[in-house]
Structure 1
Amino acid sequence: MAEDTFSPGRTRGMGELIDISGKTTELAPFGRTLAELGTERPEIVGLTADMGRYSDILPFRDAHPTRFFNVGMAEQCLVMVAAGLAKTGKIAYCTTYSVFITRRAYDFVAIAGAHSKANVKIFAGMPGLMNGYGATHQATEDLNMMRGIADLTIIDPCDATELKQVVRAVADIPGAVYVRTLRGKVPVELPADYRFELGKAKLLRRGGDVGIISTGYMSARALDAAKAASAAGVEASVLHLSTIKPFDARSVRDFAQQFRRLIVAENHKTTGGLASLVVETLYDSGIVKPMIKIGLADSFFECGSQEYLEAKYGVDLPRFVRAIVEAR
């Protein structure tokens, strides 16, 4: 079934981020950047499993129609076709919901992608609670699952600025890459001079009272929460880890040693994702710190708007601000 053309005038669609009022945003930074990169590099191809509209890859399709492939609702085929194209010298960018890639095509990502060192770049849409369709569509355990695949790079960008840099960077990262992508009107949160570096944590804010370690768009929320907590006299530092694998354990260790208490925040279950990586890192370094985890419980979650779900499950901005103040 043919998908709609890309329309910059459409209203907010499924999986677009909340809390953008008053903020600078960019529409479909993934697809627009990929279209530009495709013009520069003819070896790039784009694929989707009938999720072009909801993954923002349509700008690439419109710019390079002969290099775009919609395999239909068949995620295993998506990965296999992408891996096959990679074997012929292509760099294959493929998109669908993160939950479908991880639960339905896991073995194909592991063997056809990572084990084969194929240039398959997976941009997985709507991870965590960014999807309101409930447990069947919410990839709240994807980082835990994908961490288990050897030779797979895993990236969780913060905002439009970083996402655009990641789109370009992964073309030159050898082998398979899994990116938790952001779609729709994506906020611009990071400074203009920010530079994504694979495997490198970035200090986004300095404050001496509490240390926050975060990833993905929760790093943007950490900045908002730190600013709000500052009004209550609590100053927080924010360390952003966009690369989940390879993990910058040294920066996490050095950062953690500066604070009496830590907060770890992620759009993921608190088991198996960033929080687990931080705990593993500190344990290996002999560091013991009180820690507040802002993330999701080991559970399935109901349907609803992102605003409703985040408030109900305790990962919204007010909860974040309270955690900072309590951690003082």
Structure 2
Amino acid sequence: MSNGAKAGDVICSELIELASADQNILAVTSDSRGSAALNPFATALPNQLIEMGIAEQNSVTVSAGLAHSGKRPFVFSPASFLTMRSVEQVKDDVAYSNTNVKLIGISGGNSYSVLGATHHSLQDLAITRAIPNLEVYMPADQYQTRALIQYLSKSDQPAYVRIGKKVLADVYETPAAAFKAPGKGNLIYDQGNDVTLVAAGETVRIALDAAQKLTNAGVGVKVVDLVSVKPLDQDLLNRVADQTHQIVTLEEHSIYGGLGSAVAEALAQRGDTAVHILGFPDEPAIAGTQDEVFGYYGLDADSVKSTVTTLLNK
């Protein structure tokens, strides 16, 4: 197992290989090829990269037109702008038309940290998971990212993928183990039946670290990676709920409308399972490094351990 990798670097290398074999695969950027780690793609396949400039709405609409012409565009833009500024184009030109466009939201969540609320995408899951026909994914490590891009390159379904900026520590050992299919999550830690931690994307590693601390403290804990935020793996959620009846979700997103909301919606009708949502509160996020902000809002491993311990002792 390696020491990890940035999701953007993995996507670029994978797309170079895929696009070299298929000239219909395109990368479309809105003055973001550097942030998206696409410079190697631009060098290797300059005729398959389209630079739209700072025009996210145009990037989405043009990509929809390209898809209608048989192309397979991957649109790269900061997640905050791709899902906020371009939401009408995503809803109408891509999802409503069921158009083969893959939307890659880079620097998602709190990745831009000190740049402030204008650059944070802490509402993108709430927006995208409410749009019909649009799949939503958050990969947790390089292997999951690689497998997801391979799937998306073959799928004709519109999709939104949120990635961050930092190096992701490895969670899996192979792409095959990391991502199986749309609507499929993974039970990646199973050491008892007191509580299940549910996460996706960058918070999966935090959930695993917190789970180990809880195990060491004598708490029986499971960890679920819901890489496929939409469609959701309701079967897996019900299986772990059958055993634990106590679910704690972790997300780099507002507590409204994101992963925790999706899990709560899926399990609400059971009536026997408590869902506690850990995320960003209903306020503009404070300024600071990503780790500092996570710690402030109780999303680091030690804080998660403390929160779970308190919940179980009530």
Please confirm whether the aligned pair reaches a TM-score higher than 0.5, indicating the same fold. Answer: yes
Aligned amino acid, residue 175 of structure 1? Q
Match of 1:25 in 2: 4
TM-fit CA distance, 1:184: 5.0
Measured against aligned partners, the alpha-carbon deviations of 1:163-206 in whole angstroms (never above 9, x if no partner) come to: 11111111222231100023453322223351412111111010
Match of 2:240 in 1: 255
TM-fit CA distance, 1:321: 2.0
Structure 1 segments unaligned to the other structure (5+ residues): 1-21
- Report the Cα distance in structure 2 between the residues aligned to 1:304 and 1:158, rounded to whole angstroms: 23
1:273 paired residue among 240, 251, 258: 258
Match of 1:194 in 2: 177
Aligned amino acid, residue 142 of structure 1? D
1:324 to 2:308 alignment: yes
CA RMSD of aligned residues (A): 1.7
Match of 2:63 in 1: 82
2:97 paired residue among 97, 116, 135: 116
Match of 1:206 in 2: 190
8 A contact 2:172–2:178 mirrored in 1: no
TM-fit CA distance, 1:322: 1.5
1:304 to 2:283 alignment: no
1:43 to 2:24 alignment: yes
Larger mean Cα displacement after TM superposition, 175-184 or 219-228: 175-184
8 A contact 2:195–2:246 mirrored in 1: yes
- Report the Cα distance in structure 1 between the residues aligned to 2:248 and 2:101, rounded to whole angstroms: 34
TM-fit CA distance, 1:267: 1.2
TM-score between the two structures when normalised by the length of structure 2: 0.92
Measured against aligned partners, the alpha-carbon deviations of 1:40-85 in whole angstroms (never above 9, x if no partner) come to: 2221000110011111222221211011011011100110111111
TM-fit CA distance, 1:23: 7.2
TM-score between the two structures when normalised by the length of structure 1: 0.89
Measured against aligned partners, the alpha-carbon deviations of 1:131-151 in whole angstroms (never above 9, x if no partner) come to: 211110001011001112110
Measured against aligned partners, the alpha-carbon deviations of 1:249-291 in whole angstroms (never above 9, x if no partner) come to: 222122112114221111111111111111111123x233233
- SS of match in other structure, 1:118: coil
Q: Map of 1:56-205 to 2, 5 A cutoff? A: 56-132=37-113, 133-183=115-165, 185-192=167-174, 194-196=177-179, 197-205=181-189
Greater fraction of residues in helix: 2
8 A contact 2:5–2:141 mirrored in 1: no
Measured against aligned partners, the alpha-carbon deviations of 1:283-328 in whole angstroms (never above 9, x if no partner) come to: 23x2332333211112211322112211112212221121333344
Distance of aligned partners of 1:224 and 1:23 in 2 relative to their CA distance in 1, 3 Å threshold: farther
Match of 2:277 in 1: 293
- Report the Cα distance in structure 1 between the residues aligned to 2:31 and 2:73, rounded to whole angstroms: 16
8 A contact 1:38–1:60 mirrored in 2: no
Aligned amino acid, residue 155 of structure 1? Y
Aligned amino acid, residue 177 of structure 2? Y
- Report the Cα distance in structure 2 between the residues aligned to 1:322 and 1:24, rounded to whole angstroms: 28
Measured against aligned partners, the alpha-carbon deviations of 1:6-44 in whole angstroms (never above 9, x if no partner) come to: xxxxxxxxxxxxxxxx97122511111111111122210
Identity of aligned residues (%): 28
- Report the Cα distance in structure 2 between the residues aligned to 1:164 and 1:183, rounded to whole angstroms: 16
Aligned amino acid, residue 55 of structure 2? A
